[in-house]
Amino acid sequence: MRLNKKALLVVSFGTTFPDAISAIENIEEEFKQTFPEYDFYRVFTSGMIIRKLKRTKGIEILDMEKALDYLYQEGYTEVICQPTHIINGMEYEKVKTAAAPYRKLFRKFILGEPLLTTEQNFRDTAEILLAQMPEYKEDEAVVFMGHGSAHYANGAYSEMENMFRALGREQVYVGTVEGFPGLSYIEGRLKKKGIRKVHLMLMMIVAGDHAQNDLAGEEDSWKAYLLEQGYEVSTSIIGMGLLDGIPKLYTKQMKKRLLLSE
């Protein structure tokens, strides 16, 4: 029996799209390779997704409470927990709330931060996204779709757009499905700039329901709306978890937190 049992939890909202889970797996694999001395556990925060996966596919995924309770019962003494969320919004608040009663039960418990937390995080993420963008002409623009939130952390999307500006990209915009700025606001700015063609891209970890339907669906989507307004439209439906560099940003942040805890 190991005297110091170490566990790694990689916590995601979750997805039921078979093609989308690879983005989460890519981040998980990066963590497994970076912290091989830790036993890995997958955690989802969406109860709806957990129940659907069990009902339709017989797949059992732990939620935060069950995972931490299991680790305590199994005698783990050190836990590192990394959310794959992008902003410090409501889903991250749920993770913190669920973890709070368990933190004192372990000798060491470290909770990582979402991708966009510090100014350097924004800069590093923006540079990775810029490297994925298509070349665009003077009358073209790149529009990213983020999830959005009623939480005040929603302002991170506007900060990201301003980071693109700081890196010299004036024709890159960031909108959200469930927050401000929405597509109608973005489209108003495109019109003022005389944009002819729009390249739609994803600012979400997985290319799940929002990507397949809200971004690129044939009806009631950003793509369909922009086409109706007379724009040429191209789409790139790749979850950020699959982009070179994004998983490493998460592990880089966790390594820094581990060093500070020593």
Q: Active site residue: 85, 147, 199, 210, which one?
A: 147
Q: Do 24 and 250 meet the contact criterion of CB atoms below 8 Å apart?
A: no
Q: How far apart are CA 53 and CA 51, in angstroms?
A: 6
Question: Taking the CB of residue 255, how many other CB atoms lie within 10 A of it?
Answer: 13
- φ, ψ at 82 (rounded to 5°): -120, 115
One-letter amino acid at 249 equals L
Q: Is 86 helix (H, G, I), strand (E, B) or coil?
A: coil
- Could you tell me whether strands 5-12 and 108-111 are parallel, antiparallel, or unpaired per DSSP bridges? unpaired
Residues near 150 by Cβ (< 8 Å), separated by ≥ 6?
90, 178, 179
Q: What is the DSSP letter of 211?
A: I
Six-digit token string for 63: 């939620």
Q: How many CA atoms lie within 13 A of 153 on its CB side?
A: 18
Q: Is 207 helix (H, G, I), strand (E, B) or coil?
A: coil
C-alpha distances out from residue 94 to 9, 65, 89, 215, Å: 15, 11, 9, 26
151 noted as active-site residue: no
Q: Do 10 and 27 meet the contact criterion of CB atoms below 8 Å apart?
A: yes
| Catalytic positions | 147
